[in-house]
């Protein structure tokens, strides 16, 4: 089926490009030496090439979300087969997050400077090859290293893919439609990762590690055909902020490394404090460098946008809370209640189905309602889900303690994730779309890494022994912390929605004069 579609696209490229050109004029060349892609202004009448382009970009994001979530289900099997302790097992997940969260800003800027097509396809190839190799090796250190490599590759595919979308589809209905499909695919990948992980782990944990490889290579073949080869001016190394890249990447890598290691070695251990201290120093150096460089990696002025800053903070709160909650519930279901990986995966399935189904109308909802209002709804749903789960007691059935929570979390993810992405990239010029998307995804991943470390510390520091069939020691505290994140997100969304409503009223009054 895939090859039939690819073949059809290859034979109709000339006709499709003619149709695309009629939709919008060509714009100026960007710093990467690429001529900016044509803007599609209509949300209807997309060509087959347009749809396949969106499938390729959304498919890569789906794999990224899938990989983060899926491997967690297989950890017990990996540990038993390779004799890996908990300290090593956590690095199979943390290694990916370390590479992903640490290099997203660099990945976003690289896509702007070196070419979005080139960066996306190269990183997708690395992701696929690393997946295949990780499924056949037996060396613990090599598996962890390959997980890091995959995280680095994802740090380049995500901002490059998102910036291709935001520079291909004009801001408004067309872009909202594309972004809603794109971000819902990412959320679906994360939500359905547990299901895929449970199914594949029943076959082999190696299938869990290797599954993204062939899919990534198929997407690569399609991407070569449908992502336009666009020419323009030459790239100049003077445009690349090397000092900013080093200090920002160092700060993020050290921050994620510090918070991931802290639950194991202690939050006040010299190694933890030293790592976080160097991360803070690198962040300060980064701000100084960006204020002086003619072509900064992050133009600090972009942070003057209230909507952009709010989107980034909301993304960190949303994903941080959800990832931490999923981690706690996974341990509770498997270690305390004795659920199998497949049973646990099926328990989370309703959330994935809700997120996937929301793609049909989410673009229209974004247009009509607006992102701050949708974030209010989303964070309220998250909060309700977490508080419902806090009622969990011994002997409760799935319908009593988990199903309502899963439904509410599915609703929260379905409306909040697209809203964060759309708001974080709206009003940003095309030559900074990679930067904006990199900022959003960095916030999401770093938020997840930090909260995973926080709840791990809460669970491990409780000092109590877990009793089969009973809630985990420290679980109540972890759930209340996660709920607090949703409260902060909800309050922030209410404030931003109120400010925007006041601005619209003032603009309407001025228009009457």
DSSP assignment string, 256-287: HHHHHHHHHH-TTSHHHHHHHHHHHHHHHHHH
CATH (domain of 318): 1.20.1250.20
Q: Which of 406, 279, 428 is nearest to 352 (CA)?
A: 406
Residues 194, 263, single domain; the answer is no
Residues 268, 342, single domain; the answer is no
For residue 36, give Cα distances in angstroms to 110, 112, 281, 302, 377. 15, 10, 37, 20, 35
Residues 262, 354, single domain; the answer is no
Q: Helix or strand or coil: residue 349?
A: helix
Give pLDDT, residue 506: 74
Cβ pair 252, 276 in contact under 8 A: no
Q: Torsion over CA of 227, 122, 54 and 252, rounded to 10 degrees?
A: -130
CA dist 285 and 237 (Å) reads: 21
Domain count, the chain: 2
Q: Helix or strand or coil: residue 35?
A: strand
The fraction of the chain above a pLDDT of 70, given in percent, is 85
Q: Residue 19 sits in which domain range?
A: 2-240+295-512
Tens of pLDDT, residues 212-262 = 999 999 999 999 988 877 654 455 666 677 788 788 878 877 887 787 778
Residue ending a domain, choose from 278, 294, 310:
294
Element (H, E) at 510: helix 475-512
CA dist 289 and 98 (Å) reads: 23
For 267-351, strand residue ranges (E) read none
Q: Helix or strand or coil: residue 145?
A: helix
Residues 215, 305, single domain; the answer is yes
Element (H, E) at 90: helix 86-114
CA dist 491 and 485 (Å) reads: 10
Residues 100, 80, single domain; the answer is yes
The fraction of the chain above a pLDDT of 90, given in percent, is 22
Task: Calculate mean pLDDT across residues 151-156.
Answer: 90
Tens of pLDDT, residues 161-182 = 888 887 788 777 777 788 778 8
Supply 488's token pair. Answer: 């902060």
Give pLDDT, residue 177: 80
- Is-above-0.85 flag for pTM? no
6 pLDDT more than 60: no
Backbone CA torsion sign across 11, 13, 14, 20? positive
First to last CA, the chain: 60
- Of 141-145, 234-238, 365-369, 476-480, the range with the lowest mean pLDDT is 234-238
Residues 254, 350, single domain; the answer is no
pLDDT band for 380, please (50, 70, 90 cuts): very high
Tens of pLDDT, residues 84-104 = 765 567 678 777 877 887 787
Residues 143, 23, single domain; the answer is yes
- Find tokens 């974080």 and name the residue: 424
Mean pLDDT of the chain: 79
CA dist 434 and 109 (Å) reads: 6
Residues 81, 174, single domain; the answer is yes
CA dist 418 and 11 (Å) reads: 34
Tens of pLDDT, residues 28-52 = 334 444 444 445 545 556 788 888 9
56 pLDDT more than 60: yes
Task: Calculate mean pLDDT across residues 59-80.
Answer: 82
22 pLDDT more than 70: no
306 phi/psi in degrees, rounded to 5: -60, -40
DSSP character string of 453-509: HHHHHHHHTS-----TTSPPTTHHHHHHHHHHHHHHHHHHHHHHHHHHHHHHHHHHH
Q: Torsion over CA of 153, 154, 158 and 160, rounded to 10 degrees?
A: 0
Residues 333, 227, single domain; the answer is yes
Task: Calculate mean pLDDT across residues 323-349.
Answer: 83
Residues 160, 274, single domain; the answer is no
Residues 272, 373, single domain; the answer is no
Q: Helix or strand or coil: residue 29?
A: strand
Residues 218, 70, single domain; the answer is yes
Residue ending a domain, choose from 261, 276, 294:
294
Q: What is the CA radius of gyration of the chain?
A: 22
Residue ending a domain, choose from 276, 294, 312:
294
Cβ pair 254, 38 in contact under 8 A: no
Q: Residues of 364-397 as b/e, b for ≥16 C-beta within 10 angstroms? A: ebbeeebbbbbbbbbbbbbbbbbebbbebeeeee
Supply 458's token pair. Answer: 């809460």
- Find tokens 């946008």 and name the residue: 305
Give pLDDT, residue 172: 75
User: For residue 124, how many other CB atoms are within 10 A of its CB?
Assistant: 26
Tens of pLDDT, residues 254-304 = 887 787 778 778 888 999 999 999 999 999 998 898 888 777 777 787 888
């Amino acid at each position: 089926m895939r090859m039939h579609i690819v073949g059809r696209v290859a034979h109709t490229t000339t006709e499709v490009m003619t149709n695309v050109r009629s939709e919008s004029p060509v714009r100026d060349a960007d710093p990467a030496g690429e001529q900016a892609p044509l803007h599609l202004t209509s949300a209807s009448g997309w060509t087959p090439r347009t749809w396949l382009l969106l499938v390729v970009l959304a498919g890569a994001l789906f794999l990224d979300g899938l990989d983060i979530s899926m491997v967690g289900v297989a950890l017990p099997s990996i540990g038993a087969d390779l004799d890996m302790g908990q300290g090593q097992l956590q690095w199979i997940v943390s290694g990916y997050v370390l590479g992903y969260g640490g290099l997203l800003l660099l990945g976003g800027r690289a896509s702007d400077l070196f070419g979005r097509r080139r960066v996306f396809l190269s990183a997708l190839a690395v992701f696929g090859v690393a997946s295949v190799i990780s499924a056949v090796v037996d060396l613990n250190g090599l598996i962890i290293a390959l997980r890091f490599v995959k995280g680095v590759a994802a740090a380049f595919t995500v901002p490059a893919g998102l910036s291709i979308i935001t520079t291909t589809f004009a801001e408004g209905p067309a872009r909202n439609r594309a972004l809603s499909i794109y971000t819902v695919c990412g959320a679906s990948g994360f939500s359905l990762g547990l299901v895929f992980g449970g199914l594949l782990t029943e076959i082999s944990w190696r299938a869990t590690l290797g599954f993204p490889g062939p899919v990534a290579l198929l997407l690569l073949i399609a991407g070569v055909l449908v992502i336009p080869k666009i020419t323009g001016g030459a790239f100049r190394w003077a445009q690349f902020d090397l000092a900013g890249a080093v200090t920002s990447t160092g700060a993020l890598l050290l921050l994620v490394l510090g918070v991931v290691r802290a639950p194991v070695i202690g939050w006040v251990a010299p190694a933890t404090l030293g790592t976080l201290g160097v991360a803070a120093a690198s962040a300060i150096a980064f701000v100084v460098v960006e204020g002086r460089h003619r072509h900064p990696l992050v133009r600090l002025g972009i942070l003057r946008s209230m909507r952009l800053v709010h989107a980034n903070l909301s993304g960190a709160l949303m994903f941080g809370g959800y990832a931490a909650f999923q981690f706690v519930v996974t341990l509770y279901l498997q270690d305390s209640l004795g659920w199998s990986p497949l049973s646990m995966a099926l328990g989370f399935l309703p959330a994935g189905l809700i997120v996937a189904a929301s793609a049909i109308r989410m673009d229209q909802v974004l247009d009509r309602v607006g992102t701050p209002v949708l974030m209010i709804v989303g964070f309220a749903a998250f909060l309700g889900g977490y508080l419902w789960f806090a009622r969990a007691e011994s002997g409760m059935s799935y319908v009593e303690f988990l199903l309502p929570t899963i439904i509410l979390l599915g609703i929260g993810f379905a409306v909040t994730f697209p809203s964060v992405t759309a708001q974080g990239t709206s009003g940003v010029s095309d030559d900074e779309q990679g930067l904006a998307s990199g900022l959003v995804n960095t916030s999401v991943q770093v938020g997840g890494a930090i909260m995973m470390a926080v709840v791990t510390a809460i669970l491990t520091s409780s000092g109590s022994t877990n009793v089969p069939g009973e809630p985990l020691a420290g679980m109540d505290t972890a759930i209340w912390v996660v709920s607090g994140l949703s409260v902060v997100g909800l309050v922030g969304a209410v404030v931003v929605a109120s400010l925007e409503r006041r601005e619209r009223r003032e603009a309407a009054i001025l228009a009457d004069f």
